[in-house]
Amino acid sequence: MAKINLEHNINEDANKLLVSQLKYKLEKVFLGGGKKSLEKLKAKGKMSARERVDALIDPDSYFFEIGAFAGEGMYKEHGGCPAGGVVVGIGYVCNRQCVIVANDPTVKAGAWFPITGKKNLRAQEIAMENRLPIIYLVDSAGVYLPMQDEIFPDKEHFGRIFRNNAIMSSMGIPQIAAIMGSCVAGGAYLPIMSDEALIVDGTGSIFLAGPYLVKAAIGEEVDAETLGGATTQSEISGVTDYKMKDDAECLQTIRDLVDKFGTFPKAGFSREKPLPPTENPEEIYQLFPESRTKPYKTIEILKRLVDESKLTEYKAGYGQTIICAYARIDGWAVGIVANNREVVRSKSGEMQFGGVIYSDSADKAARFIMNCNQKRVPLVFFHDVTGFMVGKRSEHGGIIKDGAKMVNAVANSTVPKFSVVMGNSYGAGNYAMCGKAYDPRLIIGWPTAKIAVMGGEQAAKVLLQLQIHSMKHQGTEPSEEEQQKLLDKIKDRYDAQTTPYYAASRLWLDAIIDPLETRRFLSLGIEAANNREPEKFNVGVFQV
């Protein structure tokens, strides 16, 4: 009779519960503005944003949605903004990878919140980095006026989108826009700065100022259809290129246009026939601990993600708190940089904590990253890091110098980088492992991910001491019971800010996924990156 591993059972139950919660949350997000809003949309003869995406992409193909949790828990005083009011992702159209941006008119009539602008800019960034065609399905009332000061004038605000339209055009990246609903004011520039524009008769309209504003500005009375409907903009002004009878014909015409695209030169990243892992990927649920403080063998997780469960480790016996290895994922050659969560013994006999970056591991990782750039091998970072090692011995050993070397290599790396936040991603460890600030092509988290300056327990104690010091300065000193209540309150607030959903709502993560989706996600990302050649690698100056 097989021996029952209680710890594995606990881990599996905890991880499957988190995945179940993820799916439940996604179901709610997919409703957009709610069932009533969807019914009103259908009554107008329009498809929902997600139905439009489904009709546009190839049947039964993989659509990787970006920013599904954008805006989660934000804008409560404004009624919320599910998915940031826009559906964004990478999908296959006529076997061609495309970035798709579809406004959701069930969420405040598709109006742009600050997070909507950030999400649209992220979509354009992905298109530019990977030289992917981009398709806009426009149905928006424009800027959400109550928050116009947070979306309109700054560098990373609304206007940057049109600047990006122009830049992408100069780069030769195809852009197609379909006006399937409202398209007003500054938003009208987006489809017309695209290469080709389609408009749906009866529901699509595009103008710089709507009937009410025209009346207020110049005293002219005109209805929306005459002002900027499909007939006006296709047959009188010539602003749009194709007049479509309904959503279905519009989406099919976009497919016909994409079908005629030429291709760009490929980057030439190595790919062989994909082979599944020999170790069972579902065992990840058992191996990944339910507690973020427990050690585990990261190499065993990696074996369940790579082809044939085969890894070629670089400097396996040196700098053991980081694993560096070559492997293949769905046939693609990759260089893996992963935090090893085992407690290991260094070359000097010193015990090293798993998940901490020491001088030797930072040194090893920097060299490995440079090698991958030299050989044009895409990099994949698996985060479960609590930060760099601190203390007298580490400082005397030059931890700052070695850490800076690793950060330098990551920052200057020109091969595509992908980040998977499995567990902790704390402090400078987040930077060294290619957090969002270091331009990963895509960054995702498992439901177990945590992103913060430090762990909740440590942060709460630091914040508590600061608060107690302030209270003493004011002449009051809390009792032990009051201190504990303060600690619990601070920790609860801090912990809420370290969840993957908090990170994803602000687009620090592109998505939260089931760990079993990791291979497919990485394969799609590398395929996208293969559409653009990396620039020449130069690490600049750093202390050796």
One-letter-per-residue 3-state SS of 455-504 = CHHHHHHHHHHHHHHHHHHCCCCCCHHHHHHHHHHHHHHHHHCCCHHHHH
Helix/strand/coil percentages in the chain, nearest 5? 45, 20, 35
Residues of the chain with pLDDT under 50: 1-2
List the beta strands (DSSP E) in 408-472: 417-426, 442-445, 450-452
Residue position matching structure tokens 């430090």: 454
Tell me what pLDDT residue 494 has. 79
β-pairing, 344-345 with 242-244? unpaired
Place of tokens 């590398």: 526
Supply the pLDDT for residue 477.
79
Q: Are 68 and 83 in contact (CB under 8 A)?
A: yes
At 14 the pLDDT is 97
CA angle 446, 448, 453 (to 5 degrees): 105
Amino acid 487 reads: L
Backbone angles phi, psi at 304, to 5 degrees: -95, 5
The number of beta carbons lying within 10 Å of the beta carbon of residue 462 is 14
Q: What integer pLDDT is reported at residue 1 of this predicted model?
A: 37
Tell me if the pTM is above 0.85. yes
Q: Assign 293 to helix, strand or coil.
A: coil
Q: Is the dihedral of CA 486, 487, 491, 492 positive or negative?
A: negative
Q: What pLDDT is recorded for position 361?
A: 94
Are 422 and 383 within 8 A, CB to CB? yes
